[in-house]
Chain A
């Protein structure tokens, strides 16, 4: 157990699709858990991150909590990986960058169709939204990128096995996708 590689994962401003795709490696999960142990991750529900070998980040940076989690991951992980379109280029959430934050909130909570009791949420427990959704490499240094929306299970498997074996990552043509 002591020699197992420690992996932490987090979903920032993403849809959890990349995490689902990781689970989609199916029975290969059994091979994976022989080699690795999950630290902080939605899979374990561990809330704080310890020293890790690999940190995998899904989703872009859209609010203050995303920034905090991302910086913590960078601090604790030897290798940080951006997985999926949102982490790499902001993805679908970055569509909001074409509008001001005020316009987005106004449309979502005040002017949008079918809204009862229009009011922009302001509970102090809610993390403050950033003006723009940003890719994670614009906030911290990122060591590896695995594109896709989400990357296929095979792409993730290729990446993880080659990374763990210390090989250079070599994706086939069909494994590099942005959609």
Chain B
């Protein structure tokens, strides 16, 4: 018996191994499913809900749901795109995502997914939350306005850097990223610009200093091509190395 079984993503057969998630199998097969809090190097988190798909008609998050043989998975119906767009709009209004003033613009996964899903406005009423900036570290700035609580920095700092610098405090609308250091400032922690956690933020919340516009606007990762194409091309290049 073959070790691989098959499910169908938008009608296309995708091979998977027992226990593999829909997301991991799809990405390995070169099929992109929109996602924000998922990263192939880390245990899935399932919190952003951007990767929701329909598995035989039932909504599941593809980064946590193990693939099931001979099922139909749909990520591209009008309903799924509409739902994904609404989730993106909610993420935009919950924080302060002012793209024209953000160094990450053009390289930001939240923005790129919004482009890809044709989000023309944030639709919902803006929260305009008041969140303080932390520029205390010499090499890295944290702009909490842009944090989407994906916890990738939490996972990277804990699992790879072994420093446990980040944590999410509070629940629901009161949840916020905090820093494990005296006074809660990044500058008082052992954080380094070389840390995995410094390089994994999908938005402009954790940013290296002194290189904001080294690559001009218009020539950045997602300026010309949708994230689905860029990320799959990069994955292919990585595999060829």
Contact = CB atoms under 8 A, between A and B. Distances in A.
B98 A147 contact: no
Contacts of B223: 174, 177
B239 interface: no
Interface stretch (A30-38, A91-99, A113-121): A91-99
A59 interface: no
Contacts of A138: 125-126
B114 interface: yes
B99 interface: yes
Contact of B100 (A132, A149, A171, A173): A149
Given A89-B92, A179-B217, A95 B101 contact: yes
Given A146-B120, A147-B120, A94 B98 contact: yes
Interface string B83-116: 0000000001000111111100110000100111
Contact of B128 (A97, A137, A146, A171): A97
B224 interface: yes
B105 A178 contact: yes
Contact of B115 (A95, A97, A135, A176): A176
B122 interface: yes
A95 B223 CA distance: 24
Nearest to A97: B128
Interface of B, secondary structure class, is: loop
B130 interface: yes
B110 to A, nearest CB: 10
B66 interface: no
B98 A173 contact: no
A10 interface: no
Interface residues of A, number: 29
A16 interface: no
A90 B97 CA distance: 10
A135 B96 contact: no
A142 B121 CA distance: 10
B126 A135 contact: yes
B115 A173 contact: yes
Interface in A143-179: 144-147, 149, 171, 173-174, 176-179
B195 interface: no
B226 interface: yes
A128 to B, nearest CB: 19
A66 interface: no
Interface centre among A82, A89, A98 (most CB of B within 10 A): A89
A92 B98 contact: yes
A88 interface: yes
B159 to A, nearest CB: 32
Given A138-B126, A145-B121, 18 more contacts: A85-B98, A89-B98, A90-B126, A91-B100, A92-B100, A92-B101, A94-B96, A94-B126, A94-B128, A95-B98, A97-B96, A134-B126, A145-B120, A149-B100, A173-B116, A176-B119, A178-B99, A178-B100
| 6 tightest A-B CB contacts, nearest first | A178-B99, A149-B100, A145-B121, A145-B120, A179-B105, A97-B128
12 contacts: A85-B99, A89-B121, A90-B126, A95-B96, A95-B98, A98-B145, A171-B120, A173-B116, A174-B223, A177-B223, A178-B100, A179-B102
Interface of B: 92, 96-102, 105-106, 111, 114-116, 118-123, 125-126, 128, 130-131, 145, 217, 223-226
Interface of A: 82, 85, 88-92, 94-95, 97-98, 132, 134-135, 137-138, 142, 144-147, 149, 171, 173-174, 176-179
